[in-house]
Structure 1
Amino acid sequence: MPESSAVPTSRPTPSEAAELGAEDAKLVVLARGARGRVGAVEGAAVRDQDGRTYAAASVSLPSLTVTALQLAVASAVAAGATRLEAAVVVTEASTLDGAGHAAVRDLATDAPIHVAAPDGSLLGTVTE
């Protein structure tokens, strides 16, 4: 698997942004909050099969580096989640990191992974 999956770099049109449902928009808010609380590079949130949500920020320590999406998935699994319905990562990057992508795919091959800018605007959605 490649290190990253490209997402569109252009901003969505208003009709594209409107396609993000209320539950996925909530994930964007949670991911932005997780990122902002600690000033992290990325924030992420996931929703499990029961509708429970988990948010996390990226961690970068001398002995441990975890992407926000990996940590959100790990939190969900630690709480008993066996499947994910959707995921969001808020980042300044224009690509989705390969490790976070793989973590989501471990629990769901078809869950959308929305990538949003720090201001919450949708950059794109990875469905593969």
Structure 2
Amino acid sequence: MAEPTAVDPEDAKIVTLARSARARTGAAEGAAVRDTDGRTYAACTVALPSLRLTALQAAVAAAVASGAEGLEAAAVVTEADEVDGASLAAVRDLTGDAPVLRADTAGKVLDVVS
């Protein structure tokens, strides 16, 4: 198991939002992003017959649909051992260097992909 990573209060907020999105829907993952204006967007895994999105893809899509031009940070609450490539690609499409925090279901940040 990974060692917990210390995070600043603003990043802790998006972890909490991601955790809440996952818990509210019972989805596999929850995610949240903070745009460069400080606005936050949360989402969960979308698994419909005609549409499949990771939680982070859905959160990035919500941000873009609201006019976000860049991201400051992103967080994913997951049981996976790493943030999947499709999720990272969605963040990198919008911002090349935003940190992506991976947290467990209890909200403990396990690592940060930068």
Band of TM-score, shorter chain: over 0.9
- Residue 100 (1) aligns with residue 87 (2): yes
| Structure-1-length-normalised TM-score | 0.86
Report what 1:10 is aligned to. Answer: 2
What is the CA–CA distance in structure 1 between the aligned matches of 2:65 and 2:50, rounded to whole Å?
21
Unpaired segments ≥5 residues, structure 1 = 1-8
How far has the Cα of 1:120 moved from its partner?
A: 0.5
1:68 aligns with 2:60: no
- Gaps (5+ residues) in structure 2? none
Describe the SS at the equivalent of 2:83.
Answer: strand
In terms of Rg, which structure is larger? Answer: 1
Q: Which residue identity is paired with 1:103?
A: A
- Structure 1 runs of 4+ aligned residues shifted over 2 Å read none
Q: CA deviation at 1:11?
A: 2.3
* RMSD, aligned α-carbons: 0.8
Q: Does 1:85 align with 2:72?
A: yes
Residue-pair matches, total: 114
Matched with 1:109 is 96
Where does residue 4 of structure 1 map in the other structure?
none
1:48-67 alignment to 2 at 5 Å?
48-67=35-54
Whether 1:36 aligns to 2:15 is: no
CA contact (8 A) 1:85 1:112 kept: yes
* Aligned residues with identical type, % of pairs: 62
Q: Distance in 2 between matches of 1:85 and 1:116?
A: 17
- Normalising to structure 2: TM-score of the pair? 0.97
